[in-house]
Amino acid sequence: MAEMDPISTVLGRLPPEITATDPDVVARYLTDFRHFRTGAARAVLRPRSTVEVQAIVTLCAAHGVPLVPQGGNTSYCAAATPSPDGGELVLSLERLNAVRALDAANLSLTAEAGCVLSVLQEAADAAGLMLPLDLGSRQSCQLGGALSTNAGGISVLKYGMARDLVLGLEAVLPDGQLLNVLQPLRKNNTGYDVKQMLLGAEGTLGIITAASLKLARKPAQTVTAFLAVAEIDALTTLLARAQTLTGENITSFEYVSQHSLSLLLAAQPGLRHPLETPAQHYVLMEAQTCSPVLALEEAVGTLLEELMGEGLVSDGTLANGGQQRDQLWYLREHIPEAEVANGGSVKHDVSVPTSALPAFITKASALVDAHGAGGRLSIYGHVGDGNVHFNVVAPVGAEPAVYKPWFEREVSPRIYDLAVAMGGSFGAEYGIGIVKLDLLDRYGDKAKLHMMRALKAALDPANIMNPGKVVRG
């Protein structure tokens, strides 16, 4: 009798309800969000419970079959796409989508990895609370992916990264063991905080199946402002003044360059410029408080008066919640679409100390002007955290498919060199996946890379968890 190949053996031993092999179904899991890579896989495994995830991992470990965990497939780095050789199975967490518990008095929510972020936001809202993790892909990204990539987003300034919101975790380790440190505790110093190793590991050290998250009290007041800023150097002062006057209640402090706004207004002609006098730089700033009694709007009003009086802000508009707020946020969140409408962009997801951010934007822009062969800048991002999406769109008339790889090869290294030289990072929030392995080799601290290899070898000696991602095999 012919010996079965390991993948057939694994598939043969799993319940057929959780092994999708129809090529049309499988195809939906094989291409990453940004179309960097199309992989191959004979099946997608869609377990319905943590126990089924354990069964899958145990089988795959026994037979040396590598797994690629996938959530909402919104990675910007192809972190959840299988290799083209077909030697891996995709493990989708989408059916692990229960909200297990919501403890309002403890301000915590326990949910499974496959929950879509917006569903969790709604669950918190229904309990009179708020899940302070929020990103543009909220309608499609899933909790497990958000935690495995330590997602950032638009509320980091006040609430931190995804990692900062995790109280407890449940995960299946590469040998099939179940790690259960799911207790929603704010203080739990009992040995190494091993859950930290799974957060941000992009599925290479195990599979997150559930997590307990911090909730916050629901905002009773939201004040949103769109400000025109004449000089980019003013950003740092602006942020400091805004945080001070509002009592560190600035939830979002998002930069939008005139370049990006123009790109968007051109791509979507139905949109209107929110201000009468355009400027080179804009900030979308949002302040929130759960207090019904503190006079937040008055504080923001005082702030804007001062800033305009001093000439730091040249124009601005205030939205007190509601439709106007949605319109302002629409502008911020649809810049990526405007880039796509122009053939997409070369993205540099860079961070520097906040104090260095204006200088970084100025210097990096000069680099593109000098070496970018007419590439169009699109700069925006979470500058309150020192994180800027420094993107470059192909010149009008140029072929993006030719221009972008050229730019990445010839100019991007200068931008990354600059960020790192200014004390920053080549990767703020998107992660490594397969797309940034070379950058990690180039800029990563040597001892850190050594530790990463040691941790990977210790926890996944057979290299079956998302091999080839984050850390080289």
Please list every residue from 195 through 224 that binds a second copy, using CB under 8 A: 196-197, 199-201, 205, 216-217, 220
Q: Judged by CB under 8 A, which of 9, 444, 462, 468 binds a second copy?
A: 444
Cβ proximity to a second copy: between 19 and 50 the closer is 50
Output the DSSP codes for 21-56.
--HHHHHTTSB-TT-S-B---S-EE--SSHHHHHHH
Beta carbons within 8 Å of 403's beta carbon, 6+ residues apart: 343, 373, 375, 394, 395
CA distances from 466 to 88, 203, 225, 443, 473 (A): 8, 6, 42, 22, 10
Scored b (16 or more CB within 10 A) or e, 380-394 reads bbbbbbbbbbbbbbb
Q: In the structure, how many helices (H) and strands (E) does the chain have? A: 17, 19
Cβ proximity to a second copy: between 267 and 359 the closer is 359
Please list every residue from 55 through 94 that binds a second copy, using CB under 8 A: none
CA dist 169 and 288 (Å) reads 29
Cβ proximity to a second copy: between 139 and 180 the closer is 180
251 sits near a second copy (criterion: CB under 8 A): no
Helix, strand and coil in the chain, % to nearest 5: 35, 20, 40
Beta carbons within 8 Å of 363's beta carbon, 6+ residues apart: 418
Q: Judged by CB under 8 A, which of 32, 112, 134, 385 binds a second copy?
A: 385
CA dist 298 and 254 (Å) reads 21
Least distance to a second copy, CB of residue 468, Å? 14
Cβ proximity to a second copy: between 176 and 395 the closer is 176
Least distance to a second copy, CB of residue 243, Å? 6
Pick the stretch among 41-49, 154-162, 256-264, 319-327 that binds a second copy (CB under 8 A): 154-162
Please list every residue from 93 through 132 that binds a second copy, using CB under 8 A: 103-108
Q: Judged by CB under 8 A, which of 430, 434, 465, 467 binds a second copy?
A: 430
Cβ proximity to a second copy: between 60 and 181 the closer is 181
Q: Judged by CB under 8 A, which of 177, 258, 317, 463 binds a second copy?
A: 177
Pick the stretch among 66-74, 84-92, 178-186, 332-340 that binds a second copy (CB under 8 A): 178-186
Least distance to a second copy, CB of residue 148, Å? 11
Retrieve residue 330's tokens.
């629409």
Please list every residue from 409 through 428 that binds a second copy, using CB under 8 A: 423-428
Please list every residue from 323 through 352 that binds a second copy, using CB under 8 A: 351-352
For residue 407, the Cα-to-chain-centroid distance in whole angstroms is: 24
Least distance to a second copy, CB of residue 448, Å? 5
Cβ proximity to a second copy: between 249 and 378 the closer is 249
Cβ proximity to a second copy: between 20 and 141 the closer is 141
CA dist 181 and 184 (Å) reads 9
Least distance to a second copy, CB of residue 374, Å? 30
- 465: DSSP letter: B
List residues bridging with 89 in a β-sheet: 67
Q: Judged by CB under 8 A, which of 73, 251, 257, 289 binds a second copy?
A: 289
Positive/negative CA dihedral, 108, 111, 117, 119 = negative
Q: Judged by CB under 8 A, which of 341, 356, 373, 462 binds a second copy?
A: 356
Beta carbons within 8 Å of 157's beta carbon, 6+ residues apart: 250, 251, 252, 253, 382, 384, 385
Cβ proximity to a second copy: between 272 and 446 the closer is 446
Cβ proximity to a second copy: between 267 and 439 the closer is 439
